Amino acid sequence: MRLLKPNAVLVFGVVVLSSAAFQLVTTARVGLQPDRSYILPNGQQITPAGTHIEVADRPLGMAFSPDGQLLAVVTGSSFAPAQIHLVDVNARAIVQSIGIGDSFVGVAFSSDGGQLYVGGGTDNDVKVYRRQASGSFAAAGSIISITNSEPSGLSIDRSGATLYVALNIRHSVAIVDIQARTFKEVPVGVFPYTTAVTRDGAKVYVSNWGGRRVRPGDKTDGFQPVVVDPQTGIASTGTISVLDPTTRTVVNNIDVGLHPSGMALSPDGRRLYVVNANSDTVSVIRTLDDSVEKTIDVKLFAGAPLGSAPDALAVSPDGKRLYVANAANNAVAVVEPDNPGNPVRGFIPTGWFPTAVALSPSGNTLYVASGYGFGSVANQGKAGRSFQDRAGVISILAVPDDAALAVYTRQVLLNSYPPQAQSKAISRRRPSSPRGSFDPSRIKHVFYIIKENRTYDQVLGDLAQGNGQPSLVQFGRNVTPNHHALAERFVLLDNFYAAGDQSALGHQWCDEAYANDYVHKYGNARNDFAGSNPMAYAPTGFLWDHVRNHGMTVRMYGEFAATNMTPGSSTWTDVYNSWKNATGSVSVQSSTRVAGVRDILAPRYAGFEMRVADQSRVEEFLKEFRQFEQSGNLPNLVIMLLPADHTNGTTPGYPTPRAMVADNDLALGRIVEAISKSRYWPETTIFVTEDDAQAGTDHVDGHRTVGLVVSPYVRHGTVNSTLYTTINMFRTIELILGLPPLNQFDLSAAPMTSLFAAAPDLSVYTALPNQIPLDEMNPPIAGLRGLERRLALASMRMDFSRPDAAPEDLLNRAIWHSVKGYKTPYPGRGEDEERRPGR
Q: How does pLDDT run across 697-710, given as a tens digit for each residue?
A: 999 999 999 999 99
Q: How does pLDDT run across 559-570, given as a tens digit for each residue?
A: 999 999 999 999
The SS3 call for residue 666 is helix
Contact 540, 236 (CB under 8 A): no
CA distances from 778 to 213, 653, 775, 784, 820 (A): 48, 7, 9, 11, 14
Q: Which residues pair with 61 in a beta bridge?
A: 74
Helix, strand, coil share (%) of the chain residues, nearest 5: 25, 30, 50
DSSP of 37-69: -EE-TTS-EE---SEEEEESS-EEEEEE-TTSS
Q: Which of 99, 817, 13, 820 is nearest to 835 (CA)?
A: 817
Mean pLDDT of the chain: 91
DSSP 777: B
**CATH second-level architecture of 441-755?**
3-Layer(aba) Sandwich (3.40)
Residues listed for the chain: 839
Residue 418 has pLDDT above 90, yes or no: no
Contact 310, 276 (CB under 8 A): yes
Contact 442, 655 (CB under 8 A): no
Residue 530: pLDDT band with limits 50, 70, 90 = low
Ranking 184-198, 514-528, 644-658 by mean pLDDT, the lowest is 514-528
- Looking at residues 307-335, what average pLDDT do you find? 98
Q: What is the rounded distance in angstroms from the CA atom of residue 776 to the CA atom of residue 660?
A: 9
Distance between alpha carbon 561 and the CA centroid of its chain, in Å?
19
Residue 526: pLDDT band with limits 50, 70, 90 = low
**Percentage of the residues of the chain whose pLDDT score is greater than 70:** 91
Contact 330, 349 (CB under 8 A): yes
Contact 468, 460 (CB under 8 A): yes
Q: What does R_g of the chain's alpha carbons equal in angstroms?
A: 26
Q: How does pLDDT run across 40-87, given as a tens digit for each residue?
A: 999 999 999 999 999 998 999 999 999 999 999 999 876 678 999 999
The pLDDT of residue 529:
64
**Percentage of the residues of the chain whose pLDDT score is greater than 90:** 83
Q: What is the rounded distance in angstroms from the CA atom of residue 733 to the CA atom of residue 756?
A: 13
Residue 506: pLDDT band with limits 50, 70, 90 = very high
CA distances from 723 to 28, 31, 44, 425, 495 (A): 6, 12, 11, 21, 5
Residue 388: pLDDT band with limits 50, 70, 90 = confident
Q: Amino acid identity, residue 736?
A: I
Q: Report CA torsion sign: 396, 398, 403, 405.
A: positive
CATH 3.40.720.10 in the chain, residues? 441-755
The pLDDT of residue 528:
65
Which string of b and e fits 367-391 if b means at least 16 CB within 10 Å?
A: bbbbbbbbbbbbbeebbbbbbbbbb
